[in-house]
């Protein structure tokens, strides 16, 4: 646990539902507190610094930080739990990483070497790749912003991150920590993603030597070394040394991208394509180790073992890591049974009681809440679609007897309440974990990571949010993605319609240019249409981690559901469900296993 200092006079005792227990740190833009919710969940609460409270510019930076954090895929990073930017004390509650910083560990235990160093390099490169793929420059990557959790390194603190604007540029103001700055930051040149790659390499050198590669006695001496000196990389093993050397090139145009760095570290062919979700998942898996424990920091003769293990894991599709769930008969005939599926291998019995699993074992009915009205996702009575098939797969894994699953329609605003009040046992209804009220329900999953996006005609050249300027966006009743696009400074022509289906028709026949919404939901509306081809543009405004909501206090049921989700990705079922329900739309599915919730 990070060092916790007492609250000071004037610190707020409460922010939202979180009681503040102490201070974790303070930066230029805000103070970070340890917060605890009513149900005991701990979080890192970042509060905008008091001297900025009345300034619109500071509040705007804080809002961009939230947007940035929510757009980053959950690979070796800390997720955002909740935020309030509108009150007098705006704050963001993020996942509390229970572990010291990389700097603290190196200064306490000495430099990393061998397998531990390579795992650290892979984990941090995975995080940086996920950050960059969201269009964000971290701009202060350093050992203090790498926390070492029990399941591997996590990159944190987007407090000074700048979201790349529509033209792909960012502000060039020199922001960062001198010993880890890139030459272009010091020279007041254009500063972009390559500066993060330089800082990553400098962090790896620190990890291997205990010293910043360009550290000096004064700031002036440090900046001079960054611009004019070469780093001593003799402590790094051969392959890693070559990668780090290329990242420390003084010319930012000659540095590899974070995607290329990650591919090199994992032994993949390096090309110009973006690292896929599968590659990010492989990186996160390869980095899963507690680097704070001495026994995980082996000698150099073992350092190649990890790379071979990661490659073998990828080749087997993670089959050795996850139990492969096999299909039985489909419930009610609504889901197509995939070939070669039987029944799951029984898991060892646990001594911990589970109200849900015990009731299922006694022959009880499993009630699943769903949102009706979404073609390809959940539509009709009895319902069919992607989320229905996900629910049926999970039910088979939980050993629910055939015919004992009941689908219960729930409203958008009633999803948590339906579980809390016992109307249903589970809710699988495009409920984003990060925007839900965790004081009311628990979550397994996510079973899928969706994104706010737009549905457009296949031939339209729309690949980033700026391309929507001046376009006709059909806004269906109740959706908020249009407001989000407007808040990003993009002006468009709003075409209002109470029916999402009619909006999809408008896009297809040219009366509108785009339909905004969660990608899987709008893809379902597009997939049911005949005629002109449609696609999801891929602008990915947010990350929506769709979770399985269940009653709090049942960790065994949560773990069993997570096991089913792991198997669903490992045996290819998730890919098959996505293709079957949304394959008629141009849609780059998320097919990598998401980082699953801890079941506590």
Burial status of residue 299 (CB atoms within 10 A of its CB: 0-12, 13-18, 19 or more): exposed
Pairing status of strand 493-497 against strand 472-476: parallel
Backbone dihedral region for residue 55 (phi beyond 0: left; psi -120 to 50: alpha; all else: beta): beta
Residues 6+ apart with CB under 8 A from 322: 563, 566, 567, 569, 570
- What tokens appear for 224 in the block? 């001079």
| Other beta carbons less than 10 A from residue 458's beta carbon | 11
In 3-state terms, what secondary structure has residue 582?
A: helix
Note if the bond before 446 is cis, omega within 30 degrees: yes
3-state secondary structure (DSSP) of residue 541: coil
Cis, peptide link before residue 564, omega less than 30° from 0: no
Cα–Cα distances (Å) from 513 to 165, 458, 495, in that order, read 22, 11, 10
- Residue at token pair 């929507």: 468
In order, the DSSP letters of 53-113 are TT-HHHHHHHHHHHHHHHHS-SSSBPPEEEEE-SSSS-EEEEE---S-BHHHHHHHH----
Active-site amino acid positions: 140
Phi-psi region of 354 (alpha: psi -120 to 50; beta: other; left: phi over 0): beta
**325 vs 599: CA distance, rounded Å:** 20
CA distance 284 to 126: 7
Assign 3-class secondary structure to 201-238.
HHHHHHHHHCCCCCCCCCHHHHHHHHHHCCCCCCCCCH
Q: Which of 301, 281, 295, 242 is nearest to 123 (CA)?
A: 281
């Amino acid at each position: 646990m990070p060092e916790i200092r007492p609250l000071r006079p004037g610190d707020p005792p409460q922010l939202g539902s979180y009681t503040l227990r102490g201070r974790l740190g303070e930066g230029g833009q805000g103070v970070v507190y340890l917060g605890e919710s009513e149900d005991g969940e701990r979080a890192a609460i970042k509060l905008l610094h008091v001297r900025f409270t009345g300034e619109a510019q500071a509040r705007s930076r804080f809002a961009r930080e939230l947007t940035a954090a929510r757009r980053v895929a959950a690979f070796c990073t800390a997720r955002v739990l909740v935020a309030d930017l509108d009150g007098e004390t705006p704050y963001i509650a993020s996942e509390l990483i229970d572990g010291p910083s990389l700097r603290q560990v190196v200064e306490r235990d000495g430099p990393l070497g061998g397998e531990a160093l390579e795992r650290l390099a892979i984990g941090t490169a995975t995080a940086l790749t996920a950050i960059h793929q969201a269009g964000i420059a971290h701009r202060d990557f350093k050992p203090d912003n790498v926390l070492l959790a029990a399941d591997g390194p996590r990159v944190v603190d987007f407090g000074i991150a700048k979201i790349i604007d529509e033209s792909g540029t960012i502000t060039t103001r020199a922001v960062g920590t001198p010993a880890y700055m890139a030459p272009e930051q010091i020279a007041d040149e254009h500063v972009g993603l390559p500066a993060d790659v330089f800082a990553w390499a400098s962090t790896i050198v620190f990890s291997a030597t205990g010293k910043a590669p360009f550290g000096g006695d004064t700031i002036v001496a440090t900046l001079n070394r960054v611009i004019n000196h070469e780093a001593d990389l003799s402590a790094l093993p051969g392959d890693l040394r070559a990668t780090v050397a290329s990242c420390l090139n003084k010319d930012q145009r000659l540095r590899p991208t974070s995607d290329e760095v990650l591919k090199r570290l994992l032994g993949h062919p390096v090309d110009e394509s973006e690292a896929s979700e599968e590659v990010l998942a492989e990186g996160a898996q390869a980095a899963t180790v507690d680097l704070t424990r001495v026994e995980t920091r082996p000698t150099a003769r073992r350092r190649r073992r990890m790379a071979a293990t990661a490659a073998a894991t990828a080749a087997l599709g993670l089959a050795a890591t996850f139990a492969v769930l096999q299909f039985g008969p489909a419930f009610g005939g609504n889901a197509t049974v995939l070939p070669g599926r039987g029944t799951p291998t029984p898991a060892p019995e646990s001594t911990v009681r589970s109200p849900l699993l015990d009731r299922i074992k006694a022959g009880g009915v499993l009630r699943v809440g769903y949102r009706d009205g979404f073609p390809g996702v959940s539509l009709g009575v009895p319902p069919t679609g992607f989320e229905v098939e996900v629910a049926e797969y999970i039910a088979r894994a939980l050993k629910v007897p055939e015919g004992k699953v009941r689908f219960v329609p729930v409203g958008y605003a009633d999803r948590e309440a339906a579980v809390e009040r016992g109307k249903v046992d589970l809710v699988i209804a495009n409920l984003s974990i990060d925007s839900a009220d965790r004081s009311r329900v628990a979550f397994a999953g996510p079973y899928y990571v969706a994104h706010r996006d737009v549905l457009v005609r296949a031939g339209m050249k729309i690949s980033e949010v700026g391309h929507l300027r001046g376009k006709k966006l059909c806004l269906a009743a109740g959706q908020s993605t249009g407001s989000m696009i407007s808040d990003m400074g993009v002006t468009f022509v709003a075409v209002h319609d109470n029916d999402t289906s009619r909006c999809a028709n408008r896009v297809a026949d040219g009366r509108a240019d785009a339909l905004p919404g969660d990608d899987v939901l709008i893809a379902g509306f597009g997939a049911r249409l005949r005629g002109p081809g449609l696609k999801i543009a891929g602008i990915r405004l947010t990350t929506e981690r769709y979770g399985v909501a269940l009653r709090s206090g049942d960790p065994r049921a949560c773990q069993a559901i997570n096991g089913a989700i792991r198997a669903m990705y490992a045996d290819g079922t998730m890919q098959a469900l996505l293709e079957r329900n949304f394959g008629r739309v141009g849609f780059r599915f998320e097919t990598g296993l998401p980082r699953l919730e801890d079941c506590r």
